[in-house]
């Protein structure tokens, strides 16, 4: 794909003092001007300093309006956050009005087209590949984004859907470390250069470099293997930052779909760091600031000193879902004909105090209505209320529903030889607020339980490997000595080992001793009443994210494949209820694991 790095941003030149359009000497001559009692306009004074801003969003995950499709109501959380680009758009308008349209750039750090029922609808139900336009493209075009980095979730629906979304955007999707697997050339534009016009002085050239997450190679292996490769952020930044400086960029700004703590959830499965923005700032000279994404946290302002130059690099991460807007303010000074950054600050703004942008509401009302109708479609009934509120520390029936669907689906697709092996299922509690009510069951009830677009695998593990797998999962719990009261509000490591990382298993019985140290917590692991042997082989029903190494579980990524499917697990759950007509926990609920303290059950 051809890349035009000098994609010039057109601005009306305005007076540095009044903001009015600069007069241009034209058709009326000097005599006529004097006759009218006017004098010729004075030349614009060349400014020595100038200010401009870069606004940043990240991890929007197709949240357009302040709406929760899973509850079919306005979004609410305990901290009073609002979601959606419609509110963020209002903040952006306020920033442009206050600072001047020509002084503001707008950038995103990725994960745009996956994450809500709206995203799923326009990827699978009425896909954009059939000719409709993605609501996020409509919204972001209206908001006049200048660039966006590719997020890892951009690849969830396959490259064809991503390319279609790219074609609908009026701004480039950047990925300097998303390379064609055969040629090792950029598969997307690595960077773009924007010009901020300064009356009477040279344009300020702002180079924007986009970097995505190396974990795509694992998490979306099925979609990208043999097609794209994803080297490290530091490695590619070292290549492209000097190039932007050589192009005459006065300011180099990075948008990274990568956190800033140097950690990796996939362990040593890849040679590149998952959350590397801090390393990029430290190790790559020539960067002024970085918009950070991927980790869904709020970091208003964070400074990293580059080890080579000693210069400070400014970073900011605006949470996710449109919870916040990052604002980078730059002051530059003209020095020997070139602009130089003399000061920079960053902050995050909360859009929960402003109204949704009425133009975006008008543009996307019909799309939103389609999705609301879709998610409220009834697919069957349920004989009892199934809640996920205690799913992170108890074996509850709503999780067994997931296990049942995974196990039945994999069992039906196994070869004759593998069908003779014992079959188990592993799955994580994605949402503690999920609830399937007694009575009518809708698509949104099931979507609220299984919020990701994962597909299903069957992989083979030995008994010893399975025990290692469950020991890894048991890291989710803090150690609580025997005799100490267990407080569920502090029991889990959910701030570092997130709920979506914690797998429970069905098909085997076991205990998790939270009084024991990590690595020795799995007790009494049995299959059909007999102790699991180290060399016993199991087929494990598991989602594609985990099967490909997501969250760093041992053995699973390299395990032999017994089954794979491109069908989303959520859709398989919907199909299950539709086919049976009624969801009855008596068909699948079984308590096969529990927490203990030195052998004493906790609950």
Model confidence over 429-467: pLDDT tens digits?
Answer: 999 999 999 999 999 999 999 999 999 999 999 999 999
According to the model, what pLDDT value does residue 42 have? 60
Is residue 107 a contact partner of residue 193, using CB atoms and an 8 Å limit? no
Q: Where are the alpha helices (DSSP H) in 131-179?
A: 135-143, 159-168
Length of the chain as a residue count? 603
User: Whole-angstrom Cα distance, residue 344 to residue 279?
Assistant: 20
Q: How many CB atoms lie within 10 A of CB 1?
A: 11
pLDDT over threshold 90, residue 16? no
Backbone φ, ψ for residue 254 (5° rounding): -105, 145
308-328 mean pLDDT: 98
User: Whole-angstrom Cα distance, residue 582 to residue 250?
Assistant: 64
User: Whole-angstrom Cα distance, residue 558 to residue 469?
Assistant: 13
- Coil, strand or helix: which one is 555? coil
Q: How many CB atoms lie within 10 A of CB 301?
A: 16
- Coil, strand or helix: which one is 549? coil
According to the model, what pLDDT value does residue 131 have? 94
Buried b (16+ CB within 10 A) or exposed e, 386-405: bbbeebbbbbbbbbbbbbbb
pLDDT in tens, 411-429: 999 999 999 999 999 999 9
- Alpha-carbon distances, residue 381 vs 220, 350, 384, 406, 579 (angstroms): 34, 40, 9, 20, 11
CB contact set of 285 (below 8 Å; sequence gap of 6+): 241, 306, 308, 309, 311
Q: To the nearest 5 percent, what fractions of the chain are helix, strand and coil?
A: 30, 25, 45
268-281 mean pLDDT: 96
Q: What percent of the chain has pLDDT over 70?
A: 93
User: Whole-angstrom Cα distance, residue 291 to residue 18?
Assistant: 32
pLDDT over threshold 80, residue 368? yes
> 15-21 long-range contacts, Cβ below 8 Å, gap at least 24?
15/44, 15/199, 16/44, 16/45, 16/47, 16/198, 16/199, 16/200, 19/100
User: Whole-angstrom Cα distance, residue 570 to residue 123?
Assistant: 14
User: Whole-angstrom Cα distance, residue 493 to residue 512?
Assistant: 15
According to the model, what pLDDT value does residue 44 have? 59
Backbone φ, ψ for residue 120 (5° rounding): -65, -40
User: Whole-angstrom Cα distance, residue 602 to residue 580?
Assistant: 35
Q: What percent of the chain has pLDDT over 90?
A: 90
Buried b (16+ CB within 10 A) or exposed e, 505-524: bbbbbbbbbbbbeeeebbee
pLDDT over threshold 80, residue 358? yes
pLDDT over threshold 80, residue 72? yes
pLDDT over threshold 80, residue 23? no
pLDDT over threshold 50, residue 37? no
Q: Single out the residue of 544, 539, 367, 374 nearest to residue 465, CA to CA.
A: 539
- Strands 582-583 vs 378-382: parallel, antiparallel or unpaired: parallel
pLDDT over threshold 80, residue 337? yes
38-49 mean pLDDT: 67
Instruction: Tell whether pTM > 0.75.
Output: yes
99-107 mean pLDDT: 98
Q: Single out the residue of 539, 537, 568, 402 nearest to residue 458, CA to CA.
A: 539
pLDDT band at 89 (very low <50, low <70, confident <90, very high): very high
Average pLDDT, the chain: 93
User: Whole-angstrom Cα distance, residue 210 to residue 602?
Assistant: 48
| Residue carrying structure tokens 């040679």 | 271
pLDDT over threshold 50, residue 29? no
According to the model, what pLDDT value does residue 47 have? 80
pLDDT band at 494 (very low <50, low <70, confident <90, very high): confident
According to the model, what pLDDT value does residue 267 have? 83
Backbone φ, ψ for residue 218 (5° rounding): -90, -55
User: Whole-angstrom Cα distance, residue 518 to residue 471?
Assistant: 7
Sign for the pseudo-dihedral over CA of 76, 78, 79, 80: positive
Q: Single out the residue of 448, 468, 462 nearest to residue 401, CA to CA.
A: 448
pLDDT over threshold 80, residue 288? yes
According to the model, what pLDDT value does residue 40 have? 57
Is residue 585 a contact partner of residue 386, using CB atoms and an 8 Å limit? yes
According to the model, what pLDDT value does residue 46 have? 73
Task: Retrieve residue 6's tokens.
Answer: 């000098």
According to the model, what pLDDT value does residue 8 have? 32
User: Whole-angstrom Cα distance, residue 334 to residue 47?
Assistant: 8
* Strand locations in 372-454 (E): 378-382, 386-387, 423-427, 435-436, 439-442
Q: Where are the alpha helices (DSSP H) in 204-256?
A: 216-219, 221-224, 233-246
Is residue 351 a contact partner of residue 325, using CB atoms and an 8 Å limit? yes
124-148 mean pLDDT: 98
- Strands 228-229 vs 179-180: parallel, antiparallel or unpaired: antiparallel
According to the model, what pLDDT value does residue 269 have? 87
pLDDT in tens, 460-483: 999 999 999 999 999 999 999 999
pLDDT in tens, 202-260: 999 999 999 999 999 999 999 999 999 999 999 999 999 999 999 999 999 999 999 99
Give Dmax over CA atoms of the chain in angstroms.
Answer: 107
User: Whole-angstrom Cα distance, residue 411 to residue 122?
Assistant: 31
């Amino acid at each position: 794909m051809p890349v035009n790095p000098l994609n010039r941003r057109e601005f009306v030149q305005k007076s540095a003092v009044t903001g009015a359009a600069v007069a241009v000497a034209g058709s009326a001559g000097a005599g006529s001007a004097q006759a009218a009692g006017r004098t010729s306009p004075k030349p614009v004074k060349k400014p020595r300093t100038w200010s401009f801003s870069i606004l940043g969003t990240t991890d929007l995950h197709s949240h357009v309006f302040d709406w929760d499709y899973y509850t079919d109501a306005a979004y609410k959380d305990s901290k009073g956050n609002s979601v959606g680009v419609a509110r963020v758009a209002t903040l952006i308008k306020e920033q442009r009005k206050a600072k001047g349209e020509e002084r503001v750039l707008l950038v995103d750090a990725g994960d745009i087209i996956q994450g809500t029922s709206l995203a799923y609808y326009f990827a699978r139900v009425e896909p954009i590949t059939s000719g409709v336009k993605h609501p996020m493209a409509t919204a972001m075009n209206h908001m006049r984004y200048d660039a966006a980095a590719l997020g890892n979730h951009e690849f969830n629906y396959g490259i064809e859907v991503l390319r279609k979304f790219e074609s609908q955007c009026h701004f480039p999707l950047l990925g300097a470390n998303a390379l064609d697997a055969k040629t090792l050339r950029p598969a997307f534009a690595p960077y773009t250069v924007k010009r901020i016009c300064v009356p009477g002085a040279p344009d300020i050239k702002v180079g924007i470099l986009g970097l995505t997450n190396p974990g795509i190679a694992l998490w979306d292996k099925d979609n990208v293997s043999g097609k794209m490769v994803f080297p490290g952020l530091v490695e590619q930044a070292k290549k492209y930052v000097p190039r932007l400086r050589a192009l005459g960029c006065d300011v180099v700004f990075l948008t990274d779909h990568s956190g800033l703590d140097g950690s990796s959830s996939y362990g040593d499965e890849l040679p590149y760091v998952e959350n590397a923005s801090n390393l990029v700032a430290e190790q790559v000279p020539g960067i002024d600031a970085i918009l950070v994404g991927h980790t869904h946290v709020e970091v208003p302002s964070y400074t990293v000193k580059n080890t080579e130059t000693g210069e400070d690099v400014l970073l900011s991460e605006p949470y996710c879902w449109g919870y916040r807007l990052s604002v980078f303010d730059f002051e530059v000074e003209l020095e020997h004909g070139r602009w130089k950054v003399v000061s920079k600050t960053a902050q995050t703004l909360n859009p929960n105090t402003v109204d949704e942008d009425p133009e975006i509401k008008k543009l996307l009302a019909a799309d939103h209505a389609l999705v609301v109708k879709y998610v409220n479609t009834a697919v069957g009934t349920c004989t009892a209320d199934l809640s996920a509120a205690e799913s992170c520390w108890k074996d509850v029936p709503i999780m067994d529903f997931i296990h049942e669907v995974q196990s039945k689906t994999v069992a039906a697709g196994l070869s004759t030889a593998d069908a003779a092996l014992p079959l188990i299922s592993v799955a994580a509690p994605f949402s503690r607020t999920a609830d399937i009510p007694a009575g009518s069951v809708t698509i949104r009830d099931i979507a609220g339980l299984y919020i990701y677009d994962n597909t299903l695998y069957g992989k083979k593990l030995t008994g010893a490997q399975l025990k290692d797998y469950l020991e890894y999962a048991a890291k989710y719990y803090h150690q609580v000595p025997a005799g100490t009261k267990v407080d569920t509000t502090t029991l889990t490591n959910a701030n570092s080992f997130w709920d979506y990382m914690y797998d429970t298993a069905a098909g085997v019985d076991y205990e998790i001793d939270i009084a024991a140290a990590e690595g020795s917590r799995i007790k009494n692991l049995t299959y059909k009443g007999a102790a699991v042997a180290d060399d016993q082989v199991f087929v494990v029903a598991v989602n594609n994210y985990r099967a490909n190494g997501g969250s760093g579980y041992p053995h699973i990524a390299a395990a032999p494949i017994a089954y794979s499917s491109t069908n989303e697990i959520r859709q398989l759950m919907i199909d299950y209820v539709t086919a049976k007509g009624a969801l009855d926990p008596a068909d699948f609920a079984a308590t096969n694991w529990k927490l203990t303290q030195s052998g004493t059950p906790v609950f």
